[in-house]
Amino acid sequence: MYRGCKLKFIPQPIADVVVIETTMHGDERGYFLETFRQDRLEHAIGYKVNFIQDNESKSSKGVLRGLHYQIPPYAQAKLVRVTEGRVLDVVVDIRKYSPTYGQHVSVELSSKNKKQLFIPRGFAHGFVTLSETATFTYKVDNYYAPKHDRGIAYNDKHLAIDWVIQEEYLQLSEKDRNSTSFLEVDAPF
């Protein structure tokens, strides 16, 4: 019998970034879990968020996507998770007024651990696929706006992100290979 799921909201070292864990109910037939509750998320983060679009990508091992962000008025908050495989998910604080400006949080998300990550506006986001393939899904609270899209170099020395996979095995898009340095961030947050 289903008795409801518990969502656990775990604050991260950077304020406003939250890992979400859920209770899974299962038996020999399979499992059930609650992946999203608007009211509980808003209670945990302390403000309203209106997700308006769901996205999904599939990547092979070593694919690195990021670090991406959009500038206002098209900045985006995201709720991300992995439905197949596993990734290392990374968020970088690009809020210039923040005491953690330039710092990052890394979290492994997988279909096994069922963790999710809430990323508020004012953060650059990226992930690298650690398994043979991974399906990555996410909700956003603003539409994609190409003219407001920006990127930071994944290997920027000021950020010193450990992507876990050796650089020669990373697969990057042309856009991500040509992203700007952290010192050139165009982020009016």
CATH of the domain at 133: 2.60.120.10
Cβ partners under 8 Å of residue 61, min gap 6: 129, 130, 131, 132, 133, 165, 169
Task: Give the mean pLDDT of the chain.
Answer: 93
Statement: residue 1 has pLDDT above 60: no
pTM for the complete prediction? 0.93
Q: What is the mean pLDDT of residues 20-36?
A: 85
Q: What percent of the chain has pLDDT over 70?
A: 97
State the catalytic residue, choosing from 69, 104, 125, 138.
138
Within 10 angstroms of residue 131's Cβ, the number of other Cβ atoms is 16
Mean pLDDT within 162-188: 92
Q: Is residue 167 part of a domain?
A: yes
Determine, yes or no, domain membership for 144.
Answer: yes
Residue 113: domain span: 53-184
pLDDT at 24: 77
DSSP 8-state assignment for residue 169 = G
Integer Cα distance of 159 and 151 in angstroms: 13
In the chain, how many domains are there? Answer: 1
Asked if residue 87 is part of any domain, the answer here is yes
Tell me how far the alpha carbon of residue 84 is from its chain's centroid.
Answer: 15
- In-domain check, residue 11: no
pLDDT on residue 165: 96
| Annotated active-site residue in 68, 104, 125, 154 | 68
Q: Is 43 a catalytic residue?
A: no
Confirm whether 169 is a catalytic residue: no
- pLDDT tens by residue, 95-145: 999 999 999 999 999 999 999 999 999 999 999 999 999 999 999 999 999
| 5 found inside a domain | no
pLDDT of residue 5: 65
